[in-house]
Chains A and B, each alone.
Chain A
Amino acid sequence: AQKVTQAQTEISVVEKEDVTLDCVYETRDTTYYLFWYKQPPSGELVFLIRRNSFDEQNEISGRYSWNFQKSTSSFNFTITASQVVDSAVYFCALSERGDTDKLIFGTGTRLQVFP
């Protein structure tokens, strides 16, 4: 069965600190996709990244970086030099290739960045 665990329910940091949001997933498929979404206080879901299971290269996009490690079934997200605008709930999600076409979301991590 597929499952996504975000053990950190809430993280608080001060501006300019680096912060890492953890995501651990479970799947029996060898082909799957991992996602991160940001949900700011306004409520919409903002797509951040999609990674397929065959691509373990880490990715950097500005202050954001993602560390995908199949050996530990983790897909962690780091924000460098955090800013107040980064305050949001961040969701990790998993989709398996096969009969299902749905995303399974984790419970989310609420990040609060204080000035």
Chain B
Amino acid sequence: EPEVTQTPSHQVTQMGQEVILRCVPISNHLYFYWYRQILGQKVEFLVSFYNNEISEKSEIFDDQFSVERPDGSNFTLKIRSTKLEDSAMYFCASSQQGVTNNSPLHFGNGTRLTVT
């Protein structure tokens, strides 16, 4: 069964550094998402992306965050200047036609980001 792939599985970075988290969504999916989960807490929506633009973003997704689909297969989340509180598990997800069209949401295995 096709799956969403995220790399790396664990990334350690120093405060203030830029970090890029990478995701390869399922190939025929059109809707892409990033969620994050601070250790021991609930999963929180960050951003959704469709047709090469952001369709929705949460309050968490401030100017330090950006997303890109650079080459038609990868979907990346960039944090420009990481803070300690950015330490979390970041989940990429994709959907063929969007959750509101009753299309399942498939999550990757996550990237654990540790900011020191």
Contacts and interface: CB of A to CB of B under 8 A. Distances in A.
Interface in A77-115: 91, 93, 95-108
A45 B56 contact: no
A65 interface: no
Interface stretch (B13-21, B64-72, B74-82, B98-106): B98-106
Contacts of A95: 99-100
A105 B99 contact: no
Given A43-B112, A91-B43, A106-B42, A100 B105 contact: no
Contact of B100 (A44, A91, A98): A98
A99 B56 CA distance: 9
Contact of A102 (B42, B56, B106): B56
Nearest to B110: A43
Given A100-B56, A105-B44, A44 B99 contact: no
A98 B100 CA distance: 7
B72 to A, nearest CB: 21
A64 interface: no
A45 B100 contact: no
Most chain A CB atoms below 10 A, which of B31, B99, B110:
B99
Interface of B: 31, 33, 35, 41-45, 48, 50, 55-56, 58, 89, 91, 98-100, 102, 104-110, 112
Interface of A: 33, 35, 37, 42-45, 47, 50, 52, 91, 93, 95-108
Given A37-B107, A105-B43, A108-B42, 10 more contacts: A43-B110, A44-B110, A47-B106, A100-B56, A101-B48, A101-B100, A102-B58, A102-B99, A103-B45, A103-B105
